Structure 1
């Protein structure tokens, strides 16, 4: 996926000084790169017997929906607070300066489903760790792994996910 790395942009000091933001917009704007990204993810996960993909807000929705379509499975949304109708479970997590939370509808999964988490970037692992916790705390499902478009290796996000298998298409050293 070295060619994929070329289409991504690094935006310095966004959203705040010191952050090197990895912008996936050029990938989404190019139908060939976007299609090849989804096909590569599909090939990687085609034998995982995934029942449903849980996309993390908001760019996880984009990749999760497209991958779910390619694999012929369903998708659910893990969102920021007050964005989902009905009854939800909530999981708080710490940020560098404060806290945030994720929510998922209480009827998001059927018992014993095989679930794959997906998001665009694995950085510190805080958001995906909260997603992992909310699923494992409230549902009788098998969380089979987490997949990402890119992973920022020095931030060691994998460490927060314990033994959850992690796949990323691009690793940023």
Structure 2
């Protein structure tokens, strides 16, 4: 397993759409494991392959409260099949948008279908933080960041700050 480099905004890769995984094989399973290790090291609760420069529809999530209760979720080609009309607002952050946060309103509950690490079809119903995290990570697969859901002014301030951080190292 390896810790991968996490890209930060405004890296253009983060704005590109990821391609569906055609074959769930050992390299995809290794990517999932590396992404989990990277996410835990960061530390974060979700990571999408485009955030580590790989334009494949692969995400990992773990919203458990502590290490001993770790319940990682690995999703390949995730697709939301249903979303509730009820909305929930969470203060979101992102490993690709460091030290920046914003309130984002999303459906409170979702159903998602995906392939597991063995290529088997799965379906999950999620609510609360897990539902928010799934939607956040699927956004990455579509070239969207959480800052695309906040006001233009706040987004501009965050991008300016990140650009300055990149220049100063």
TM-score by length of 2: 0.30
* Structure with more of its chain in strand, by fraction: 1
TM-score by length of 1: 0.30
